[in-house]
Structure 1
Amino acid sequence: MDNRFGDIETFLAVAREGSLAAAAKALRLTPSAVSRCIGRLEQRLGVTLLRRTTRSLALTVDGATYRDRMMALMAEMADVESGLGQEDSGPRGLLRVNASVSFGTQCLLPILPHFLERHPAVTVDLALSDAVVDLVEERADIAIRIGPLRDTRLRAKKLGHSRMVLVASPAYLARRGTPERPEDLDRHECLQFSFRRSVDSWHFRIGGRTVQRPVQGRFFGNSGEVVRQMAIAGGGIARHGRFHVAADLRDGRLVEVLGDFSAGDGEDIHALYSAQDRLAARVRAFVDFLDDELELPS
């Protein structure tokens, strides 16, 4: 009978204990039985997992990769099994959340402690990245997306809308002057984004219609947070969602410019999660929490 899960567990024990003998003792098997398990696993995979000598045992590159992947899968299986039949006792288990750096630092982190206090059986694994990730590949339960939605395989819950604003530091404006009209930006450093979905033109409302004006500058950042920090440091004028710079505007680190020419455009913010029929209690609880607790400046 194929006992591949037993072989995998035996391999993980060897990797953890550092020797066949120690793994055999932990598993209450004989060293020869452990050796046979490893042999079957290597034969089935077609790779060498362990490098054995008379005095030591070490994982090969393939062995280390296989260990890491199997440990993650085993943890996922344990998480699934522990969550079955537990709906009546409330949300529990590991909740993996993915969000942009700007949204995570400005909006999620300030309220996450309240969620953890409310749901003591839930553990949150928060990953912040401005790269658009695949929820399945990254094994994320929820992703916060800013802007147009493209993945129709997922459910989406709209959390709010944030207007775009142009901002600069008082020090930069004192040094370079405050632009009075959109065309004045030609004489300023406009801070831009380097990722693919960014654009090199900004929207303005001029003469009753919305127009796009190209901008230029000598700085590109790979995240909204990088561009924000550059603006605070006096590096130029940046265009951000208001949620990202609301505290800076309130505290005077940044000031809004060309507000009279605002096109009123902005970006919708959604929580995306699996479209499966039965939603895990911890995912449903987090979506409801965001809907109730998240406050986005308009």
Structure 2
Amino acid sequence: MDNRLGEMEVFVQVARTGSFAAAARALRQTPSAVSRAVARIEARVGTRLIVRTTRSLRLTQEGETYLLRAGDVLAEVDAIEGSLDRGSAEPSGILRVNASVPFGMHVLVPMLPAYLADFPRITIDLTLTDEVVDLVEARADIAIRIGPLRDTRLRAKRLGSSRMVVVASPGYLAEHGSPDHPAELERHRCLNFSFRRSLDSWPFRVDGAVVQRPITGNFYGNSGEIVRIMAIGDGGIARLARFHVGADLASGRLEPLLESFNPGDAEDIHALYAGSERLSPRLRSMLDFLGERMTVEG
């Protein structure tokens, strides 16, 4: 009997768990049955989808493509069956979410109790990281990204945008003074990022034109949250998204600087996911929830 849909579900489970044994436990099958199902798929498509080692496995490029398309097919099946019986379409299962540390801690996590109260049959598996990760490799159902979109394989839902702001603590400014012009930053300790997209300059609007002002400092962090904590601890001047430091500005832990020179640049916030027009109920529930609850603008 042809059971391609069942084998497809096996493959998706293997890719998401990263293990034949873990997939077998989740599906209540034997590891050998899981291995045979994947082997049958590879035989049909005529190429290897998974590279196995003694300790781990990884998807080939063809495997990543198959995973995305398989997710579409399984979501379509869920949507079809759910449309026939809305009572059985209540969102359920594990929803794997990936987000940056600042967004996760300051925006997403505070909203999750309300989400789980609305959808008690869903289990959230949340990973926070400031590294730019591949959605497929991270085995995430949805990833929230700040800034330009790079992965054209994925669909995106815009959630809002957040303006950048230069900030420092009252303690730092009391000791080192407050800069009145971007040129004065050269004598200040500026806090920067160590990941790939960081730059050793910040944009400012000077005499009607946006210019890049070089910055100097003795601290680099691989997380926006680390840079924020350093700034609160009198460690220097930082440039962060307003959603990240909004509570600190309101409480006086941080003060905005050089606002008359702020170029007004903002970073868009998107939810990225792999899927078709018909999404699984659990993925749709999260996208709708974020769209309704998020007010990150300005």
Q: Is TM more than 0.5 here?
A: yes
TM-score (norm 2): 0.74
CA RMSD of aligned residues (A): 3.2
Q: How far off its partner does 1:83 sit?
A: 5.9
Q: Supply the AA of the counterpart residue of 2:245.
A: V
Question: Which runs of at least 4 in structure 1 moved beyond 4 Å after TM superposition?
Answer: 62-66, 80-84
Report the equivalent of 2:273: 273
Report the equivalent of 1:153: 153
Q: Distance in 1 between matches of 2:199 and 2:115?
A: 36
Deviations 1:89-111 (A, max 9, x none): 32111111100000000000110
Match of 2:267, SS state, is strand
Residues 1:284 and 2:289 are matched in the alignment: no
Q: Supply the AA of the counterpart residue of 1:287.
A: L
Please tell me whether the aligned partners of residues 100 and 128 of structure 2 are also in contact (alpha carbons under 8 angstroms): yes
Q: Distance in 2 between matches of 1:86 and 1:111?
A: 27
Q: Tell me the percent identity.
A: 56
Structure 2 vs 1, CA of residues 226 and 94 (structure 1 numbering), >3 Å: closer, same or farther? same
Deviations 1:231-281 (A, max 9, x none): 011100000010000000011110101111111011011111114343111
Say how many residue pairs are matched. 244
Deviations 1:179-218 (A, max 9, x none): 0111110110000000011111111111111111111111
Q: Distance in 1 between matches of 2:214 and 2:296?
A: 28
1:222-261 aligned within 5 A: 222-261=222-261
Q: Distance in 1 between matches of 2:259 and 2:195?
A: 26
Q: Distance in 2 between matches of 1:220 and 1:242?
A: 20
Q: Supply the AA of the counterpart residue of 2:201.
A: S
Q: Distance in 2 between matches of 1:216 and 1:235?
A: 13
Report the equivalent of 1:122: 122
Match of 1:110, SS state, is helix
Q: Which runs of 5+ in 2 are unaligned?
A: 1-6, 8-19, 40-52, 58-66
Q: Which runs of 5+ in 1 are unaligned?
A: 6-10, 17-26, 28-33, 45-61, 67-72
Report the equivalent of 1:20: none
Match of 1:289, SS state, is helix
Q: How far off its partner does 1:131 sit?
A: 0.8
Please tell me whether the aligned partners of residues 191 and 227 of structure 2 are also in contact (alpha carbons under 8 angstroms): yes
Structure number with greater CO (CA < 8 Å, separation at least 6) is: 2
Residues 1:107 and 2:104 are matched in the alignment: no
TM-score (norm 1): 0.74
